[in-house]
Structure 1
Amino acid sequence: MAQYEYLILMAACVAITLPLEFLLRARVYRRLPLMLPTILVVVVAFGAWDLLGIARNHWTYNPEFITGIQLGIIPLEEIVFFIVIPLCALLSYEGVATVLNFFKRKRREGSHTDAA
């Protein structure tokens, strides 16, 4: 079971932030043309960084905690991390922006009412 803990943690990150898409209308998943390049930049940049680090033996991964599935020399879990964490960050960012915009509108509406 230990070999799946990291993937379960990544699934939990998605599960925790997914409601932001629907409850706060974060619109991250609905804007694939904007989301995909953002994720792709992270995967390519950090994938290259990891590839270099692994190839030069700067770091390794404990086989007890990974599935053993690899894309080249990079463990699947690492690629999943590069996709999930930016996705969760985008959802969080858009969720916070939605809440802040809601309060800005409420404050503006309140100031118009006070002036009348």
Structure 2
Amino acid sequence: MSHLAYTAMLVFCLVGTVPLVPVFGLRRVRPRRVLLTAVCAGAPFLVWDIAAARAGQWSFDARQTLPVRLLGLPLEEYAFFLVIPFAAIATYEAVGVMLRRRNGARPPDGRGR
């Protein structure tokens, strides 16, 4: 079961942040924009990750990851660059909604909870 450790961490992040979208009515968390952000921000790090892993400067414990590798990286590493930006954006937006609620402000369109 320990081979699912990295996957479990990513699932835990999603379980904690996906519900923020409907609960807080997050309208800025748009899948295409999150994907574009993740690709633009993550691409250089993935290139570095691949190079560092090939050079032996960086590695992933096979006992804690799925056995499938793509360019030397476990699939979870690719998922990381999608899951974590989404979690960060959703959390940031949810905190913004909470602060606006606390201060009695409403979004410009009058919607939001």
Whether TM-score is above 0.5 comes out as yes
User: What is the TM-score normalised by the length of structure 2?
Assistant: 0.83
**Is 1:33–2:15 an aligned residue pair?**
no
User: Is this contact kept in 2: 1:7–1:77, CA < 8 A?
Assistant: yes
Q: What TM-score results when the alignment is normalised by the length of structure 1?
A: 0.81
Residue 42 of structure 1, CA deviation: 2.9
Number of aligned positions between the proteins: 106
Q: Which has the higher helix share?
A: 1
Q: Does 1:3 align with 2:19?
A: no
Among the aligned pairs, what percent are the same residue?
Answer: 28
Tell me the equivalent position of 2:47: 48
The 4+ residue runs of structure 1 with deviation greater than 6 A are: none
Which residue in the other structure is 1:113 paired with?
Answer: none
Query: Structure 1: any 5+ residue segments left out of the alignment?
Result: 109-116
For 2:15 and 2:6, locate their aligned partners in 1 and report how far apart those are by CA, in whole Å: 14
Output the amino acid matched with 2:73.
I
Q: What is the CA distance between 1:17 and its match in structure 2?
A: 0.9
1:83 and 1:107, CA in 2 relative to 1: closer, same or farther beyond 3 A?
closer
Q: Which residue of 2 aligns with 1:101?
A: 100
- State the Cα RMSD in Å: 1.8
Any unmatched runs of 5+ in structure 2?
Answer: 107-113
3-state DSSP of counterpart to 2:66: coil
